[in-house]
Structure 1
Amino acid sequence: MSTFTALPHMPTADKNMEKNTSEIVTSVHYWTDKLLSFRCTRPPGYVFTPGQFARLGLVAESGETFSRAYSVTSAVEEDALEFYLVLVPNGQFSELLAKLQPGDSVLVDKTSYGFMTADRFVDGEDLWMLATGTGLGPFISILQDPSVWKKFRNLVLVHCVRTSEELAYQPLLSSLSQRSQLTNGGARLTLVQATTRDTVSNGAQHLHGRITTLLENGTLESAVGHPITVDASRLMMCGNPEMITATREILAQRGMRPCRRAAPGQFVTEDYW
């Protein structure tokens, strides 16, 4: 698994610095042996909307720059940028990531990208965020945005992974409902975790099965306590392209359509693989 699509290599340092700024890694945290997050300094004047992604570059010993795109995980007001990612076997960028240490340099594109943002929705009462694996990343940033808590009545985060050890960011997620700057907006947050390889469900909000299966058999909506409807529900999906394709089909069968520039819809997606 990798995030988005590989970017063209940048052949010279001069061209790198025209488009990028060199930032310093301040911390590296491993959730598992393959899942990690790191924080780096934030470029002066860097602007992003929660849900957008940054283009990062790492320079190999040969001098060649390898670049990939990753969603920003940190809150929009933070001085640092944080990213959540997976190490891909035999991946050139992952080989460099595995060596990353505080004090190292990372190139950050001066422009942020992406359209999976909550402001894409012009109406709706409930925001459902469906994530697989490291597709959780953009929702960590979105859920730290006070404007999202004001815009919707209910916030529902569904994170599906293979095993429970891959359920990252649990301390942060659990703390969100205690942050007065968020809860003053009036929304209620429901966290739902799902695993596909663990064989036992641990309570109503720790489910067993793929997101698509839980949608089709009604288990997901039952666990949350309210249905997904055309009028009230708006959905964001980020993760495995197969999950996104299948979920789009399920939603289409319910009369829902994707958001377009000229036509408001009920869902937006981001492939994260």
Structure 2
Amino acid sequence: MNEMTAVSTPVLPDAQTVTEVKHWTDRLFSFRLSRPASLRFRSGEFVMIGLMGETGRALLRAYSIASPSWDETLEFYSIKVPDGPLTSRLQHIAVGDQVILRPKPVGTLVLDALLPGKRLFLVATGTGIAPFASLVRDPDIYARYDEVILTHTCRDVADLAYGRTLVDGLAEDLLVGEEASAKLRYIPTTTREASPRMGRITDLLRESALGLPDLGADDRVMICGSLALNQEMKAICEAAGLVEGANSAPGGFVVEKAFVG
């Protein structure tokens, strides 16, 4: 391309390039961005991403990084909100577009915020599975726990496709495939459409309906979902004698509060 025909593309501050977009349903999609060479994060953390608004100000919101810390690109999983200030536009991004990324990862859903234990529950609803998509592809999780149980609750069967594809793909993962096959148990449930296992995960846990021993002192729990799920799961964990943890004071369970309110 010569100077006469070249087209200049504006470079946004902290911009990264969209490398992949996949629409799972009419309400859910995932996408990948290029990764800044300087970005370091722990699996389970989130960053602020977004687009420039019409006023010239950045529209940003917190998104968990769904790819593991070793990945060369950054994966994100999002709901589509038709009238949402950001997602109404973000859902239309295409490969080659630019997305703003503020490279300051934070979050409580990291292994360092938990005390040592034997069994780890990753409890998610909807797009709350994103940080766990990062963690189950990280070798460290299998080094620390004898068993990892990923639960994912959605309204409809189609909404489980991202999680199912993720788990099925672990068998071919050269880094964690063998350990994931031996240690990871995936429990999908639906609350509206009929499926092999139906019900709210909190009810299933209270009723001991998952075919698992009840929560105990050696168990650890990570929670990411709606405010109602977070509150109910917190009560279940505390009833089992677990204490909430944080980066500064590891405990028996952690809750990601950045995506509710």
For normalisation by structure 1, the TM-score amounts to 0.84
Which amino acid is 1:208 matched to?
Answer: M
2-structure distance, mates of 1:36, 1:98: 7
Return 156-165 or 90-99, whichever deviates more: 90-99
Residue of structure 2 equivalent to 1:215: 205
Unpaired runs of 5+ residues, structure 2, are: 1-9
Residue 23 of structure 1 aligns to a residue whose secondary structure is strand
- Does the 8 A contact of 1:177 with 1:189 survive in 2? no
Shift of 1:25: 0.6
Residue 62 of structure 1: how far off its partner (Å): 4.4
Q: 1:92 aligns with which of 80, 85, 89?
A: 85
Change (3 A) 1:63 1:244: same
Cα drift, residue 61 of structure 1: 4.4
Q: Distance in 2 between matches of 1:257 and 1:134?
A: 25
- The one-letter amino acid paired with 1:30 is H
In 1: Cα distance, 2:86 partner to 2:205 partner = 35
Query: Aligned to 1:171, what secondary structure does the other structure show?
Result: helix
Amino acid at match of 2:127: T
Q: 2:215 aligns with which of 219, 225, 228?
A: 228
* 1:262/1:73 CA distance change after superposition, 3 Å: closer
Specify the code of the residue in structure 2 equivalent to 1:80: T
Measure, in 2, the Cα distance between the counterparts of 1:184 and 1:29. Answer: 27
User: Within the alignment, does 1:195 sit opposite 2:185 as a pair?
Assistant: no
| 1:261 Cα deviation after fit | 5.4
State yes or no: 1:24 paired with 2:11.
no
Distance in 2 between residues matched to 1:249 and 1:55, nearest whole Å: 29
Q: How far did residue 96 of structure 1 move?
A: 1.5
Q: Could you say if the C-alpha distance between residues 183 and 95 of structure 1 is closer, same or farther in structure 2, counting changes exceeding 3 Å?
A: closer
Give yes or no for contact 1:136–1:238 (8 Å, CA) kept in 2: yes
Asked if residue 109 in structure 1 is aligned to residue 95 in structure 2, the reply is: no
- CA gap of 1:70–1:263, structure 2 versus 1, over 3 A, is closer
Residues 260 and 54 of structure 1: is their aligned pair in 2 closer, same or farther, counting only changes over 3 Å? closer
Q: Which amino acid aligns with 1:176?
A: L
Aligned 1:43-192 pairs, distance under 5 A: 43-169=36-162, 170-182=164-176, 188-192=183-187
Are the structure 2 counterparts of residues 167 and 263 from structure 1 closer, same or farther at C-alpha, using a change threshold of 3 Å? same
CA RMSD in angstroms, aligned pairs only: 2.1
Are 1:36 and 2:29 matched, yes or no? yes
The question of whether the paired residues in 2 share the 8 Å contact of 1:155 and 1:189 is answered with yes
Confirm or deny: 8 A CA contact 2:113 2:248 kept in the other structure.
no
**AA aligned opposite 1:216:** R
Letter of the 1:83 counterpart = F
Secondary structure of the equivalent of 1:83?
strand
Q: TM-score, normalised by structure 2?
A: 0.88
- For residues 119-152 of structure 1, the C-alpha deviation after alignment (integer angstroms, 9 at most, x for no partner) is 2123101110000000000000000000111110
Partner of 1:7: none
Runs of 4+ in structure 1 over 6 Å off: none
Work out the number of aligned pairs and report it.
Answer: 248
Q: Which letter does structure 2 place at the counterpart of 1:249?
A: A
What's the CA shift string for 1:230-260, capped at 9, x where partnerless? Answer: 1x21000001111110111122122222014
What is the percent sequence identity of the aligned residues?
33
Q: Deviations over 1:87-120 (max 9, x none)?
A: 1231110121122111110111121111210121
